[in-house]
A and B are shown apart, each in its own frame.
Chain A
Amino acid sequence: MSYELIAIGASWGGLHAMSALLDGLAPEVDPPLVLAQHRRVDSQRGALAELLQKHVERPVREPDDKEPIEPAHVYVAPADYHLLVENGFFSLSTDARVQFARPSIDVLFESVAAAYAERAIGIVLTGANEDGARGLAAIKAAGGATVVQDPASAERRFMPEAALALAGGADAILPVEEIPGFLYELCVGARR
């Protein structure tokens, strides 16, 4: 059993948390990382991907509609679109905001649960709303692995707490600096 996709949701404080996660990520952890980060509708196109690129070697991009999902890439949901995954490629949507957000973490995670099921890892990071809770529960129900940033260590603890409450816990509850090590165990440790 190997993991083929890592989905990450972040809101308030997410840039800092996501940067720390990428800083610690070993090159051997090669499933694609797909991030839904809440931000303003009129955020500059591609700006978040550029900021995150400074923290990691592998390419960071905002995918186009129907773009193939490749290993050892980081994909960032474009501002003002929902990002969904099909089996092996992305789809975008401009449907109504979910949990006041577009991109919504729930939308991404629920599509991940449907397409990748037990081959997926879902991670909920810092934030001040409930987005991601339903999605993480869906990934868990589909047999995927779940990780939540330790609320005590998060810049905003509400979102991790909401995810833990709705999903009924997670496989790991860690400060963000320790998440890369856990991903290494899940994705690389298992191969040995």
Chain B
Amino acid sequence: MALPVGRPEEESGLEQIEVDLLLEGIYRRYGFDFREYAPASLRRRLRRRMDGERVETLSALQSLVLHDPQVMERLLLDLSINVTAMFRDPTFFLAFRRQVVPLLRTYPFSRIWVAGCSTGEEVYSLAILLAEERLSERTRIYATDINEAVIDVARLGVFPLEKMQEYTHNYIRAGGTRAFSKYYVARYDGAQFARSLVDSVVFAQHNLASDAAFNEFNVITCRNVMIYFDRPLQDHVHRLFYESLATFGILALGQKESIGQSPHEGAFEELAAEERLYRKVR
């Protein structure tokens, strides 16, 4: 008997079935929930892991992932590393210096949450900015990510030496006035950033999709993290941020992310619309 399977042009439907089954399996086996990630980027990242494991189908990848936690660890890296740069979008950091720093000066002590810190480039950028503004002593950065492995990288504070030219350029455009090379020591092919920058940073594992609020913050930055989420998960995270922000707290999003369609849009006003800096007013 011939089974009624889809035509070849319905293969994308088959791929979707495989994606759904894989994500359901990961959730039930390991507790990581990628079921509400935006499909297009997710597919690319899954395909990258398929190439890395030398398998032809998502079903084959699923079998490996479910039976071998090391494959899951590699997949977790693929799914959760957000590529970024120090002082990415220099004009954002310039706006932070000019418009957020003066607000922070009005508080005796403030807490900043870098949500989805990945390998730490943004954490070190902010730490440098705060040090230059003499705010290090009275701010604490909380840097979280879903993935313990990238947090370990962030803690180390070693970034590729070949990136330093680009980062120096960004730093200057971001309003930096010192010699950027003062902040790191070249070691082999890595740039080791000063430990003192992150002495007071709290690094911790936190899952935006499933974990609750854990403190009250004056600033939350979450730039180019939620672009990998679908709308319902974005709404969920916006709610989490709203609940975690103090009144008059600042929310910083990526250059192409908007609070426009979030359920809490009305609770925020624009502090620097072009730079996607928002202030919670109610």
A residues adjacent to B (C-beta < 8 A): 42, 45, 62-66, 78, 80-82, 84-86, 91-96, 107, 110-111, 114-115, 117-118, 142-143
What are 29 pairs between A and B in contact, CB < 8 Å? A45-B255, A45-B274, A63-B256, A64-B257, A65-B226, A65-B258, A66-B38, A78-B256, A81-B256, A84-B38, A92-B254, A93-B41, A93-B44, A93-B227, A93-B228, A94-B82, A94-B83, A94-B84, A94-B227, A96-B83, A107-B44, A111-B40, A111-B43, A111-B44, A114-B39, A114-B40, A114-B43, A115-B40, A143-B9
Q: Report which of B12, B91, B173 forms a contact with A142, defined as CB distance below 8 A.
A: B12
A-B pairs with lowest CB-CB distance, top 8: A84-B40, A111-B40, A91-B38, A65-B227, A93-B41, A92-B227, A94-B224, A64-B258
Instruction: Give Cα distance in the complex from A82 to B256, angstroms.
Output: 11
Residues of A within 8 A of B88 (CB): 80
B261 within 8 A of A: yes
Cβ of A86 and Cβ of B40 under 8 Å apart?
yes
Cβ of B39 and Cβ of A64 under 8 Å apart?
no
Cβ of B45 and Cβ of A95 under 8 Å apart?
yes
Q: How far is the CB of B41 from chain A (nearest CB, A)?
A: 5
B234 within 8 A of A: yes
Instruction: Give Cα distance in the complex from A82 to B227, angstroms.
Output: 11
Cβ of A114 and Cβ of B255 under 8 Å apart?
no
Cβ of B9 and Cβ of A91 under 8 Å apart?
no
The SS class assigned to the B binding surface is helix
Nearest residue (CB) in B for A95 is B83
B231 within 8 A of A: yes
Interface residues as binary, B29-51 with A (CB distance below 8 Å gives 1, 0 otherwise): 00000000011110111000000
Known: A81-B256, A96-B83. 9 other contacts (CB 8 A): A42-B173, A64-B256, A64-B257, A64-B260, A86-B39, A95-B45, A111-B44, A114-B15, A142-B9
B residues adjacent to A (C-beta < 8 A): 9, 12, 15, 38-41, 43-45, 82-84, 88, 91, 169, 173, 224, 226-228, 231, 234, 254-258, 260-261, 274
Pair count A-B, CB < 8 A: 75
Cβ of B41 and Cβ of A66 under 8 Å apart?
no
Residues of A within 8 A of B226 (CB): 65
Residues of B within 8 A of A117 (CB): 9, 12
Nearest residue (CB) in A for B47 is A110
Q: Report which of B41, B91, B256 forms a contact with A84, defined as CB distance below 8 A.
A: B41
Cβ of A114 and Cβ of B256 under 8 Å apart?
no
Instruction: Give Cα distance in the complex from A63 to B257, angstroms.
Output: 9
Nearest residue (CB) in A for B224 is A94
Cβ of A66 and Cβ of B255 under 8 Å apart?
no
Cβ of A65 and Cβ of B40 under 8 Å apart?
no
Instruction: Give Cα distance in the complex from A82 to B254, angstroms.
Output: 14
Q: How far is the CB of B72 from chain A (nearest CB, A)?
A: 20
Residues of B within 8 A of A78 (CB): 255-256
Instruction: Give Cα distance in the complex from A159 to B40, angstroms.
Output: 24
Residues of B within 8 A of A84 (CB): 38, 40-41, 44
Residues of A within 8 A of B261 (CB): 66
